[in-house]
Amino acid sequence: MKNFLASRRGIIFVGGVIGILAAFLQKLGNPGNMGICVACFERDIAGGLGLHRAPIVQYVRPEIIGLVLGAFIAAYLFKEFKPRSGSAPLVRFILGAFAMIGALVFLGCPWRALLRLAGGDGNAILGLLGLTVGVWIGTIFLKNGYTLGRTQKTYKAAGFVFPLLMVGLLVAVLLNPQVEGAEKSGILFYSLEGPGSMHAPLIISLLFAIVIGFLAQRSRFCTMGAVRDLILFKHTHLFSGVVSLVVAAFITNIIFKQFNPGFSGQPVAHTMHLWNFAGMVLAGLAFALAGGCPGRQLFLAGEGDGDAAIFALGMIIGAAFAHNFGLASSTAGATPAGMVATVIGLIVCMLIGLTMREKVV
């Protein structure tokens, strides 16, 4: 059967759906220009589980659970569920952790960078420029033979582990629901103020994310791949999906009066241009070296890719470190520790890119 969603029209459709649903989620309660942000929401999950204790970013976001489960359902239905792993998992974990640190210096993953742009946040331009430069550096490594090696087929059960982990998180949320005015409910932490306290109703977040996960798995939607394929092959396929996301979110934001152009006073954002840029250079490079943006990694994990799952876990742990060590930015700006961590991350990613390659013949 021809896969419509993998066609040009398909990817434009999927980008549009993500843009519209994300703007809707913001309207329904998610934080500003954060209808969906894979990095921010994994960070909130780290907080909800108590891996870090930053009080304003604690919530087990059902969106992340839904994205993985939606992709899992799509992969399973269309016989694309192919459990595999073994392509330098530890390196992918480290890439995930530093990708998260870079994203939290900027304050968002590529999806949120696009949503911030569509909401009028000019600082997103610096982030997207940084992302492009980071991915561009990654393509240089790729051209010089960089590879993390081949994956191996593995047991079917191994492919179920990450989706089941998400089911476990969902069960934890259902058994420990938010209690009005309480910071803790059973084993989970909740935010009483700040972005972690702002969220759409659980069931809507979950359903929207399942839809997005399903569509994105079928269409291979990837923001990093969009930039990479444009630089590497001048292919505009994935890029057209990204453009569609921005346009759709922009129009929906106009309708909901969520479009506020400017640089200062933007929601969950800061105006330190250099660090908005540098944070995303680090994130973009890490995504390029790992072969996918944070969203794409979740969809791959849903179709049984254990290495992508390790990357996602690396991001969650990276988020815990980012808040425990004061590396994450706030609306006041990047922190000195965050700046140091960004530079260290860039050095680590460069070393990975330089040292892990096969000779080009």
Partner 1 sequence: MSKIIDARGLSCPQPVMLTINELENTTETQLEILVDTDTAKENVTRAITSQGWQVAKIETLDDEYKIVIKK
Residues that bind partner 1 (CB under 8 A): 3, 6, 78, 80, 82, 84, 87, 142-143, 147-153, 220, 222, 225, 228-229, 232-233, 235, 237, 291-292, 307
Q: Is the dihedral of CA 14, 242, 357, 89 positive or negative?
A: negative
Distance from chain centroid for Cα 120: 20
Q: Between 92 and 112, whose beta carbon lies closer to partner 1?
A: 92
**Distance between CA atoms of residues 33 and 37, nearest Å:** 9
Spatial contact of 352 and 91, defined as CB atoms under 8 Å apart: yes
Q: How far is the CB of 225 from partner 1 (least distance, A)?
A: 6
Spatial contact of 296 and 227, defined as CB atoms under 8 Å apart: no
Strand partners, 68: none
**Distance between CA atoms of residues 287 and 300, nearest Å:** 13
Q: How far is the CB of 231 from partner 1 (least distance, A)?
A: 10
Q: Scanning the structure block, which residue is given the tokens 């992969």?
A: 75
Spatial contact of 322 and 328, defined as CB atoms under 8 Å apart: yes
Give alpha helix (H) positions in the chain: 8-27, 38-48, 62-77, 89-106, 110-118, 123-143, 156-175, 202-219, 223-233, 237-255, 273-290, 294-302, 306-324, 336-355
Q: Scanning the structure block, which residue is given the tokens 């993953």?
A: 109
Q: Between 199 and 237, whose beta carbon lies closer to partner 1?
A: 237
Q: Between 85 and 276, whose beta carbon lies closer to partner 1?
A: 85
Element spanning 153, H or E? strand 152-153
Q: Between 141 and 275, whose beta carbon lies closer to partner 1?
A: 141
Q: How far is the CB of 210 from partner 1 (least distance, A)?
A: 20
Q: How far is the CB of 135 from partner 1 (least distance, A)?
A: 11
Q: How far is the CB of 218 from partner 1 (least distance, A)?
A: 9
Q: Between 62 and 159, whose beta carbon lies closer to partner 1?
A: 159
Q: How far is the CB of 156 from partner 1 (least distance, A)?
A: 11
Q: Between 116 and 228, whose beta carbon lies closer to partner 1?
A: 228
β-pairing, 152-153 with 84-85? Answer: antiparallel
Cα–Cα nearest to 68, from 159, 196, 7? 159
Q: How far is the CB of 220 from partner 1 (least distance, A)?
A: 5
Q: Between 149 and 168, whose beta carbon lies closer to partner 1?
A: 149
Q: How far is the CB of 6 from partner 1 (least distance, A)?
A: 5
Spatial contact of 229 and 235, defined as CB atoms under 8 Å apart: yes
Q: Between 139 and 266, whose beta carbon lies closer to partner 1?
A: 139
